[in-house]
A and B are shown apart, each in its own frame.
Chain A
Amino acid sequence: MSTGAASMRKMIRSNVLSMFGLVTVSIFVVITAAQILSSGAILPYNAYQPSFAQANLSPSLSHPFGTDLLGRDMLSRVVTALPIDVGIPIITVALSAAIGIVLGTLAAFFRGWLDEFLMRLTDLFMAFPTMIMAMAIAATLGPSLVNVTLSMIVVWWPPYVRLVRGGVLAIAAEDFVSISKALNSSFFYIVRKDAIPNVLPTILVYATFDVGSALLTLSTLGFLNVGIPPTAPELGMMVSNVTYNLFLYPYQIIIPAVVVAVIVAGFSFLGEGIRESLDVKLRPHIMIRSKPAKEMENPIDGARPSV
Chain B
Amino acid sequence: MIPLRDFLPYLGKRVLGAIGVLIGAMLLVFIISYILNPNPAHLWAGARASKSTIAAVVARYHLDQPWYVQLYYFLQSYATGNFGIDPQTGRSILSEMEFYFPNTLELVLVSMVMIVALGVASGYIAGMRFGTKVDHAIRIFYLATWSSPYYLGGFLAILVFSSYIPLFPSGGMFSQTISPINHITGIYILDALLQLNGPAFLSGIDHVIMPAAVLALLDFGLVARIMRSSILNARWSTHVKAARAKGTPEGEVRRNHILRNALIDTNTIIAVTFGFMLSGTIVIEEIFSWPGIGYFTYQAIVSINYPVLIPCVLLFTLGVIAANFIADVFYSLLDPRIALGEGGGSEG
Residues of A within 8 A of B (CB): 17, 120, 123-124, 127-133, 135-137, 139-141, 212, 216, 219-220, 223-226, 236, 239-240, 243, 246-247, 250, 253-254, 257-258, 260-262, 264-265, 268-269, 291-298, 301-302, 304-307
Contacts and interface: CB of A to CB of B under 8 A. Distances in A.
B316 A140 contact: no
Given A294-B344, A295-B344, A297-B226, A129 B159 contact: no
A302 B219 CA distance: 11
Contacts of A261: 144, 147-149, 152
Contact of B343 (A133, A291, A307): A291
29 contacts: A131-B279, A132-B297, A132-B312, A132-B313, A135-B298, A137-B32, A140-B33, A220-B149, A220-B150, A223-B151, A225-B302, A236-B149, A239-B151, A246-B159, A246-B163, A254-B152, A254-B156, A257-B149, A260-B152, A264-B149, A291-B268, A291-B343, A294-B343, A295-B265, A295-B268, A305-B276, A306-B275, A306-B276, A306-B280
Given A136-B32, A140-B32, A129 B151 contact: no
Contacts of A120: 24
B280 A307 contact: yes
Interface in B297-322: 297-298, 301-302, 304, 306, 309, 312-313, 316-317, 320-321
Contacts of B345: 292-294
A54 to B, nearest CB: 24
B141 to A, nearest CB: 12
B210 interface: no
SS of A interface (majority) = helix
Contact of B143 (A130, A140, A226, A265): A265
Contact of B317 (A127, A131, A224, A297): A127
**Which residue among A130, A219, A297 has the maximum number of chain B CB atoms within 10 Å of its CB?**
A297
Nearest to A290: B17
B36 interface: yes
Interface in B305-348: 306, 309, 312-313, 316-317, 320-321, 324, 331, 338, 342-345, 347
Task: Please list the 7 inter-chain residue pairs (A to B) with the smallest Cβ-Cβ separation, ordered nearest first.
Answer: A292-B343, A294-B344, A306-B279, A257-B152, A265-B147, A140-B36, A264-B147
Interface in B122-147: 139-140, 143-144, 146-147
Interface of B: 21, 24-25, 28-29, 32-33, 36-37, 139-140, 143-144, 146-152, 155-156, 158-159, 163, 222, 225-226, 229-230, 233, 264-265, 268-269, 272, 275-276, 278-280, 282-283, 286-287, 297-298, 301-302, 304, 306, 309, 312-313, 316-317, 320-321, 324, 331, 338, 342-345, 347
